[in-house]
A and B are shown apart, each in its own frame.
Chain A
Amino acid sequence: MIKAESITFSYGENKIFQSLSTAFEKGKFCCIIGKNGSGKSTLLKLLSGYIKPEQGVISVDDKAASSYSRREYAQKTAILAQEREKADFTVYDYVSSGRYPYLGITRRLTATDRQLISEAISKTNLESKIHENISNLSGGERQRVYIASVLAQNTPYILLDEPTTYLDVSAKFEVMNYLSDMAKNGKGVIAVMHDISLALKYADSLLILDKENGIYTACTPTEAYENGSIEKAFGVKCKAISTDNKTEFIITDQ
C-alpha cells in the first residue's frame, strides 16, 4: 500500500496541500480528479518521490519512501509522466528502458529482462511494431508503448499523469481498459485524470481534490455520485444511467 500521511506542500505562497492523508492499494485502479490547479499532478510527483513534501510522510509497503534508494524505489513504483521528451527510439528500445532500474554496471539486458520486455510488448499488442520508430506511431499506439515500458518496469505500483490526454475516444477506452486490467492483475494503478466521465466509468476508487474548500475525498464512483462530491468539487451535475445491469455516469452542466 502507498500511504500519504499529513502531507503539506506549497509552491511558494501557493499552498497546494494541507494535511492530506490518503492511501492507495494494490489491485485497485484509483483515479485522482480535481479542477485545474487542484494539485493532481503535484500529488503524483510527491508519490513518485520527484518532489518532497514540506511536512508529512509518504510510505510504500510500510516503509518510508525516503528510506528507499533511487533504484529500490524505481523497483516499487513506475511513473508515466505527462510530458515526455521526443526520442526517436524503436518500440523495443523504448520498452526496454523500463528495465533500467534492474540493469547491472554493464547495462546489458539479462534473459529475465528480455522476457519481461516481450511480455509487456505482448500485453499491449505491439508485437508487429517492435522495430518501428515510436515517432511514426499514432497517439494511441505511442501511449501503448509508454504503458508497455511501465509494465516492463514490473513494479507493484504504477503512477500515470493524464494517460489519455491527446487521444481520440477509442484510444482513450483502449488505454483505460489496459489500466483496469493491470489493476485486476494485482497492480496498484493510480492515474491523474482530467476526464471525469472516464474516471467514473473505469476507476475502482476516486480521490477528489477540492483545493478551494481544502477537502480531499476518497470514495468509490457510486459513492461520489450519491454524496454529491463531484458536483461540489466541479460545480457540474452528475447523472446515473442504468444499462445492461451496469450503472454509467454522465456529467452535464445542468
Chain B
Amino acid sequence: MNKNKITLYFAAGILLLAVTLILSLLLGSTDISIAKALSALADGNTDDGNLRIFLYVRIPRITAAVFAGVALSVSGVLIQAVLANPMASPNIIGVNAGAGFAVILASSLLPNMLAFIPLAAFLGAVITCLLIFVIAKKTCSGRMTIILVGIAVTSILNAAISAVKTVFPNSVYNFTTFSVGGLGAVNISVLRIAVPVIVFFLLLVLFLSKDMDILCLGEETAFGLGMRVSLYRFIFLISASALAGCAVSFAGLLGFVGLVVPHIARRFVGTGHRLLVPLSAILGAEFVLLSDLFCRIIFRPYEIPVGILLSFVGGIFFIFLILMQRKGKHYD
C-alpha cells in the first residue's frame, strides 16, 4: 500500500479529530468562552461558570466520547478477527448487553462501590463473549448463525436488565440514557478507572497486531505457522471484552460503533492490523465525538442521547452489509 496515502489518511483522521475536539469544547447547550475559562483558571477563580462547565462537564464528556469510540471500535476489530465474521461486533453478539447487565446488577447490589462497576462490566462482557465463542466453536456455526445466536443472547440479557431494573428501580441514574447509550451523565469516578484499562488493552492489541494478521489467515494456516491459536484467541477475546466492558461502564449500551468503524477503516488501510487498529481507534473516537456533538446542538438547549443517533446510523449500515453479503459482494 502506498505509504503517502496511508500518511494522508492518518493525518486527515487526526486533524478531523482535533477540529471536532475543539468544537466539542466550545459548543453545547451553553456556549462557553475558553479564553474566559483559562483566565479564571489562571486567577484561581473556581466559581467561574465558564471554568466549571469546561472542567466538570465538557472535558469529562469529551474524554468519555473519545475513549468509548476507541474502545468499542477496537473491540469490534478484535471480535471480527477472532470470529472471522465481518458482521460481528460487541453489541451485535451480545457483549455490550452482557456488560450492561453486569453494570445494572452491580449498581443494584453494591450501590456504594462505583469503582467495582468497570470490573463488573468487564466480567459481564467476558462471560458473554466466551459463551458466544464456545457456541460458535462447538456447533461450527456459519456467520449468520453467530449473529442469530448473538441476537438471542442480547434479547435474554436485555430481559434480565429489565428484570433487575424492576426490582431495583433506582439502581442506575438516568436508566433510559444508559439503555440506549449516552454521555450526558458520565461518572468521573468510573471514567478514572476505565480509561487506563482502555489504554492498556489498546497498547496490548497494537503490540500483538502481527499476531492478529496471522490469526486471520485461518486456524489451520495459523497453526502451521507455529501460532498457539487458542492462547491468542483467548487474549484477543479478553481484550475485546475489557474494551467493550469499560466503554459500557461509563457510556451505557452504545451500539454499532464496533461494527461501522472497522469497516470504514478497512476501506482505507486494508485488513493489516498494524494500520487497521490505530486507524479504527482514531475514526472510532471521531465517530462518537462528532455524533455526540451533533446530538448536543441539533435541538439546543435540549439534547438527545448519542446512542439514538449511533443506533440509527449503525442499523442502516448493518442492513447495507447484509444486502451486500446476499449479493455476494464481500464488503469488508
Contact = CB atoms under 8 A, between A and B. Distances in A.
Interface of A: 45, 48-50, 70-75, 77-79, 81, 83-90, 93, 97-98, 100-101, 103, 107, 131, 133, 153, 159
Given A84-B218, A85-B218, A97 B226 contact: no
Please classify how large the interface on chain B is, using the bins under 10, 10 to 19, 20 to 34, 35 or more.
20 to 34
B196 interface: no
Contacts of B226: 70-75, 100-101
Contacts of A101: 225-226
B210 A103 contact: yes
B266 A89 contact: no
Nearest to B210: A107
A180 to B, nearest CB: 22
Contacts of B189: none
A49 B217 CA distance: 18
B1 A90 contact: yes
A48 B330 CA distance: 31
A48 B218 CA distance: 15
A100 B225 contact: yes
Q: Majority SS of interface residues in chain A?
A: mixed
B192 interface: no
Nearest to B221: A81
Contacts of B271: 87-89
Q: Majority SS of interface residues in chain B?
A: loop
A88 B266 CA distance: 9
A88 B218 contact: no
A97 B214 contact: yes
A81 B330 contact: no
Contacts of B270: 88-90, 133
A89 B216 CA distance: 10
Nearest to A44: B220
B224 A50 contact: yes
A21 to B, nearest CB: 24
Nearest to A78: B224
Contacts of A93: 213, 272
Highest count of chain A CB atoms <10 Å: which of B1, B214, B224: B224
B227 interface: yes
B213 A70 contact: no
A33 to B, nearest CB: 21
B228 interface: yes
Interface of B: 1-2, 84, 210-211, 213-214, 216-218, 220-221, 223-228, 266, 270-272, 330
5 nearest A-B pairs in the assembled complex, by CB-CB distance: A74-B226, A79-B224, A101-B226, A107-B210, A81-B220
A190 B212 CA distance: 28
Contacts of A72: 226
30 contacts: A45-B220, A48-B223, A49-B223, A50-B220, A70-B223, A70-B228, A71-B226, A74-B226, A75-B226, A78-B224, A81-B224, A85-B84, A85-B217, A87-B213, A87-B216, A87-B217, A88-B271, A90-B1, A90-B270, A100-B214, A100-B227, A101-B225, A101-B226, A103-B210, A107-B210, A107-B211, A131-B2, A133-B270, A153-B225, A159-B224
Highest count of chain A CB atoms <10 Å: which of B210, B226, B266, B271: B226
A74 B217 contact: no
Given A77-B224, A131-B2, 20 more contacts: A48-B220, A49-B223, A70-B223, A70-B226, A71-B226, A73-B226, A74-B226, A79-B220, A85-B84, A85-B217, A88-B266, A89-B272, A90-B1, A97-B225, A100-B225, A100-B227, A101-B225, A103-B210, A107-B210, A131-B1
A48 B224 contact: yes
B224 A97 contact: no
A128 B225 CA distance: 26
A74 B224 contact: yes
A103 B226 CA distance: 11
A151 to B, nearest CB: 14
Contact of B225 (A74, A87, A133): A74
Contacts of B211: 107
Contacts of B224: 48, 50, 74, 77-79, 81, 159
B141 to A, nearest CB: 16
Nearest to B231: A70
B33 to A, nearest CB: 47
A71 B220 CA distance: 14
Contacts of A84: 217-218, 221
B50 to A, nearest CB: 47
Contacts of B217: 84-85, 87, 97
B220 A97 contact: no
